[in-house]
Amino acid sequence: MKTIISHQNKTFEIDLSKPIDISIPLSNDKKNPIAWYQGIPEIEPVKMDDWIGKVSEGNSSTNFNNIFFNPHAHGTHTECLGHITRDFYSINQCLKQFFFLAEVISVQPEKVGEDLIISKKQIEKALKGNSPEAIIIRTLPNFETKKHLKYSNTNPPYLAEEAAIFIREKGIQHLLIDLPSVDKEHDEGKLLAHKAFWNVKDVNNLNDDARMNCTITELIYVDDKVEDGKYLLNLQFASFENDASPSKPILYKIM
């Protein structure tokens, strides 16, 4: 179903019948990706006395599950600057628009000592002078196993502070990446890329020019079938009053 879209005083065509889901589903088994030293998510039927909220158990007319998970550790999630500030800010209050012009880029992190780092130079080269509202970073190599990795204590690749500053200065509002964090796993709490992207200068006393409406989405997966280039991004998330929420970013190829 081809549709003409008008956005930012530009008109273009997309096919709504061909959404590209770049989220990773949450499950309660070993296939679920895990970061930050957590166990697998829990999805279990409610139990009250001899009643079990599961149709297959024979005494319930509905499936009625409790779910325990951590949005940062267990799958695709979108976070606001409240992730790093002393004061509370909610993703549900910070993000009020959900469609953005996006650029998908592919980058192979560079070896620097014991680390793999995405540099400013790589981001600048991949963007080719474009300044989209959202940037979607697919790291290479792009193995399908990313959807199931156990990231804790593996020192995954991360974004250099200079790269995050460059992204901010380009006016890019939404950063999506297929890693558990834009920052180094063990960084002594510096969170340099997070702070640079959101322009947070003091987490205890938020500066007026901090980027309240900007988001970081982590633990996405962009299949190799998705070409680098321009897309319309629909950034969907559950309405949690929390610094982060599980999310479902959807891409539409611009025709």
- Look at residue 132 in the predicted model and tell me its pLDDT: 97
| Type of residue found at 141 | P
Residues in the chain: 255
Q: Which residues pair with 2 in a beta bridge?
A: 15
Splitting the chain (255 residues) into consecutive groups of 10 residues, what average pLDDT does each group show? 87 95 96 97 95 91 97 98 98 97 98 98 97 98 97 98 98 98 98 98 97 98 98 98 98 95
55 inside domain: no
Range of the domain at 103: 2-25+71-253
36 inside domain: no
Longest CA pairwise span in the chain (Å): 63
60 inside domain: no
Count of domains forming the chain: 1
112 inside domain: yes
182 inside domain: yes
* CATH of residue 169: 3.50.30.50
State the angle between helix axes of 120-127 and 161-169 in degrees (0 to 180), rounded to the nearest 10. 40
54 inside domain: no
31 inside domain: no
Q: Cα separation of 77 and 102, whole Å?
A: 17
63 inside domain: no
pTM above 0.85, yes or no: yes
